[in-house]
């Protein structure tokens, strides 16, 4: 089956939602190119907001041919000459018009790419057709010369209702059953990135063509696990300390859970005893230090813990193990999670009692909660408690289970 993200690429500009004005500007730039002061337009803005697909949709509508080059091609000036050299020359009056698209110029980075920026500048000067550059962040110093030679057109982050409309259309096209609220929640969490939203929708509708509240829960669990798996993979498979040390950058789990995940999976990956021992040594140091840090509240030292469990563990091996290992969540993580869930109900009930009785939650947990299940055995008393405290079904079930 074709991925949704490919199947629903906007073919016409009217299908590009939430960017009407911006797309209009871009289209005008291309239409009026002969009279424009600048030879290029630099379109910029966050990922998944329609930059690349707008250029394609406009060229389709205007019957123009796109000559697309990737910014990284510019690393080699000769290569770029071959690729677009002849394409940018003015051709006969009757030939099809063209757009030169240099996508994702952020790809050029560092010193070695100075030449790349120069090569693009030259392309802009020489081209007899509109040159469109795209970038997510064009305000880096290295792009200053490109900015001054281009019309700047900003794509804003999409608002969630535009994303909602995009997803809704896909759901209708695919026959995916959904509640609007769930689809809206999905749209909000994409953070203005339509590509991310469509991919989330794909993930959720792969197994069944229905979106429910549970799907959202499933998605957030899945994302969390994906992130931690990627992190483990980085730490275990790399010998490059720079890569290892950033492994947990996108991981939400707290330090304790990171330690547990490593603890569970380390012995599956590192099979040479001396390397395993070295890695566990790092892990146990991290564990001991993290306790001390918490105890003394010297939180600024936490970065050292991160170094131990990322670069430290990565460096315990001489070379990477080639076997593919399926990393698993630890049983302990699950148990902790369940314990937290149970505690969450207890705390919530205690909060309700504390509010009604004007006392502290801590006090209630200590002195009242132990007796509550007893009182709950009596049906009449139970009903009165439920009514008085306004307990929901889950909470009263939980208490019933205790009595
Ligand atoms: N405004 C929009 N309206 C409808 N669909 C959109 C919109 N923006 C993005 N999409 C969808 O998301 C996909 C990705 O968009 P696109 O490739 O244009 O993003 P981009 O802005 O170029 O992002 P990047 O900076 O990551 O390259 C498109 O193929 C389209 O399906
Ligand atoms: Mg793009």
Min mean pLDDT across 143-147, 303-307, 311-315, 327-331 is at: 327-331
Residue 78 has pLDDT above 80, yes or no: no
Q: In a mutational test of the pocket of ligand 1, which residue from 2, 9, 10, 197 has the highest number of ligand atoms less than 8 Å from its CB?
A: 10
Exposure string over 384-400, b if 16+ CB within 10 A, otherwise e: ebbeebebeeebbebbe
- With H, G, I as helix, E, B as strand and everything else as coil, classify residue 272: coil
**CA proximity to 114, closest of 74, 69, 148, 73:** 74
The closest residue, in CA terms, to atom 18 on ligand 1 is 50
pLDDT at 111: 59
* 50 C-alpha to ligand 1 centroid (Å): 3
CA dihedral angle for residue 80, residue 83, residue 89, residue 92, rounded to 10 degrees: -170
* 43 C-alpha to ligand 2 centroid (Å): 10
Is this model's pTM higher than 0.85 or not? Answer: no
Number of the ligand 1 atom closest to the C-alpha atom of 136: 25
Cα–Cα distance for residue pair 178/174, rounded to 1 Å:
11
**Token pair in block for residue 373:** 């299940």
Pocket of ligand 1 (CB under 6 A): 5, 8-10, 16-19, 47-53, 104, 136, 158, 166, 194-195, 198
Residue 109 has pLDDT above 80, yes or no: no
Q: Residue 231 burial (CB < 10 Å; 0-12/13-18/19+)? A: buried
Min mean pLDDT across 189-203, 216-230, 301-315, 357-371 is at: 216-230
Q: DSSP string spanning 57-107?
A: HHHHHHTPEEEEEEGGGGGSHHHHHHHHTTTTS---TTSPPEEEEEE-GGG
**Token pair in block for residue 20:** 């009407």
Q: Is residue 120 within 8 Å of 105, Cβ to Cβ? A: yes
Which value, in Å, is the radius of gyration of the alpha carbons in the chain? 29
* 42 C-alpha to ligand 2 centroid (Å): 12
Mean pLDDT on 8-27: 97
Q: Is residue 60 within 8 Å of 170, Cβ to Cβ? A: no
Residue 370 has pLDDT above 80, yes or no: yes
Q: Is residue 125 within 8 Å of 161, Cβ to Cβ? A: no
- Model confidence pLDDT, tens digit, residues 291-317: 898 888 888 888 899 999 999 999 999
* 10 C-alpha to ligand 2 centroid (Å): 13
**CA proximity to 151, closest of 27, 38, 26, 25:** 38
**CA proximity to 357, closest of 336, 331, 385, 317:** 385
CA dihedral angle for residue 223, residue 229, residue 232, residue 236, rounded to 10 degrees: -150
Residue 34 per-residue DSSP state: G
> Residue 335: which pLDDT band, with cuts at 50, 70 and 90?
low
Number of the ligand 1 atom closest to the C-alpha atom of 135: 25
Residue 56 has pLDDT above 80, yes or no: yes
Helix (H) or strand (E) holding 134: strand 131-135
* 104 C-alpha to ligand 2 centroid (Å): 6
The closest residue, in CA terms, to atom 7 on ligand 1 is 50
**Helices H, strands E: what count in the chain?**
20, 5
* 17 C-alpha to ligand 1 centroid (Å): 10
Residue 65 has pLDDT above 80, yes or no: yes
């Amino acid at each position: 089956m074709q991925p949704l993200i490919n199947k629903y690429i906007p073919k016409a500009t009217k299908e590009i939602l939430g960017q009407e004005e911006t797309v209009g500007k871009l289209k005008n730039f291309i239409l009026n190119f002969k009279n424009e002061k600048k030879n290029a337009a630099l379109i910029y803005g966050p990922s998944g907001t329609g930059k690349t697909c707008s250029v394609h949709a406009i060229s389709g509508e205007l019957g123009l041919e796109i000559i697309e080059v990737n910014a990284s091609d510019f690393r080699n000036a000769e290569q770029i000459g071959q690729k677009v050299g002849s394409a940018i020359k003015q051709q006969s009056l009757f030939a099809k018009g063209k757009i030169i698209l240099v996508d994702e110029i952020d790809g050029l980075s560092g010193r070695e790419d100075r030449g790349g920026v120069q090569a693009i500048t030259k392309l802009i000067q020489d081209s007899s057709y509109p040159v469109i550059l795209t970038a997510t962040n064009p305000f880096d110093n290295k792009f200053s010369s490109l900015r001054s030679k281009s019309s700047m057109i900003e794509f804003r982050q999409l608002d969630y209702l535009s994303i909602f409309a995009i997803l809704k259309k896909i759901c209708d096209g695919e026959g995916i059953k959904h509640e609007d609220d769930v689809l809206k929640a999905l749209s909000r969490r994409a953070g203005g990135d339509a590509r991310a939203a469509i991919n989330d929708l794909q993930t959720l509708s792969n197994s069944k063509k229905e979106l429910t509240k549970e799907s959202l829960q499933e998605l957030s669990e899945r994302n969390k696990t994906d992130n931690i798996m990627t992190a483990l993979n980085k730490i275990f498979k790399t010998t490059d300390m720079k890569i290892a040390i950033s492994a947990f950058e996108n991981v939400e789990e707290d330090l304790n859970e990171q330690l547990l995940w490593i603890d569970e999976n380390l012995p599956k990956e590192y099979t040479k005893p001396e390397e395993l021992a070295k890695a566990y040594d790092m892990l146990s140091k991290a564990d001991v230090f993290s306790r001390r840090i918490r105890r003394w509240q010297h939180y600024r030292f936490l970065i050292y813990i991160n170094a131990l469990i990322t670069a430290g563990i990565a460096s315990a091996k001489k070379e990477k193990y080639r076997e593919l290992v399926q990393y698993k969540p630890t049983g302990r993580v699950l148990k902790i999670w369940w314990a937290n869930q149970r505690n969450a109900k207890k705390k919530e009930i205690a909060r309700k009692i504390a509010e009604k009785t004007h006392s502290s939650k801590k006090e209630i947990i200590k002195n009242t909660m132990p007796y509550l299940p007893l009182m709950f055995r009596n049906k009449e008393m139970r009903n009165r408690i439920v009514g008085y405290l306004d307990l929901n079904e889950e909470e009263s079930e939980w208490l019933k289970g205790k009595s």
